[in-house]
Amino acid sequence: MEPNLAKIETLVRQLLVELGEDPAREGLLKTPERVARSLAFLTRGYRDDLATVINQALFTQTTSSMVIVKDIEVYSMCEHHMLPFFGRCHIGYIPDGKVFGVSKLARLVDMFARRLQLQERLTEQISRVVMEEVGARGVGVMIEARHLCMMMRGVEKQNSTMVTSSVLGVFRDQLATREEFLSLVGKR
Ligand SMILES: [Zn+2]
């Protein structure tokens, strides 16, 4: 369901008042409208459809060596504070007959990142979908991200990066495979 932009605008206008602002002053006149459109964009992952995102971009691949896609940009919002977190996602998998088109992995990351998230859950959702959709023998996903809710408020840890990983199939069962993944993404 598409968000009701007019309603969000009204809520943002009320929020501005509660924060001590005057929504009628020149600089803020169009802010509720902009915020509404921006929030709709930043949460459009709720309205993405997996089948459309993947769009049959699976290709036959007979080798079974590890496929790695590094440094996919991630922009998401933490569900606790509705503040951005952002960083990079690395995905590795061992195909079992099929591989993804590379751009599809990036779209997949976006589909799950463009909603209110926890970094841990985002990491897991990506790994599960790659595992299931590509029918991989194993998947490893690692996300390194910085959270504005930590950097701008609270503990104000400006330089801390949160690292999460999710491993499935042979990445979970075989230490050597997991180590290969970590070394290929530069973490060992
Ligand atoms: Zn947060």
Q: What's the CA-to-centroid distance between 147 and ligand 1, angstroms?
A: 7
C-alpha–C-alpha distance, residues 167 and 1, integer Å: 32
Q: What's the CA-to-centroid distance between 154 and ligand 1, angstroms?
A: 10
Active-site residue flag, 89: no
The whole-model pTM stands at: 0.91
Residue linked to tokens 């968000």? 3
Q: In the chain, which residues have pLDDT < 50?
A: none
- Which of the following is catalytic: 9, 90, 117, 119? 119
CB 45 within 8 A of CB 115: yes
Q: What's the CA-to-centroid distance between 149 and ligand 1, angstroms?
A: 5
Q: What pLDDT is attached to residue 54? A: 80
Q: What pLDDT is attached to residue 156? A: 63
Active-site residue flag, 174: no
Tens digits of residue pLDDT in 146-159: 999 988 887 666 77
Q: What pLDDT is attached to residue 60? A: 82
Tens digits of residue pLDDT in 124-143: 999 999 999 888 999 999 99
Q: What pLDDT is attached to residue 59? A: 79
- Which of the following is catalytic: 14, 73, 79, 132? 79
Q: What's the CA-to-centroid distance between 163 and ligand 1, angstroms?
A: 15
Q: What's the CA-to-centroid distance between 49 and ligand 1, angstroms?
A: 26
| End-to-end Cα separation, the chain, in angstroms | 44
Q: What pLDDT is attached to residue 55? A: 73
Kindly report the CA angle at 79 between 75 and 85, in degrees rounded to 5? 25
C-alpha–C-alpha distance, residues 90 and 145, integer Å: 11
Active-site residue flag, 147: yes
Active-site residue flag, 79: yes
Q: What pLDDT is attached to residue 188? A: 58
Active-site residue flag, 90: no
Q: What's the CA-to-centroid distance between 46 and ligand 1, angstroms?
A: 19
Q: What pLDDT is attached to residue 76? A: 98
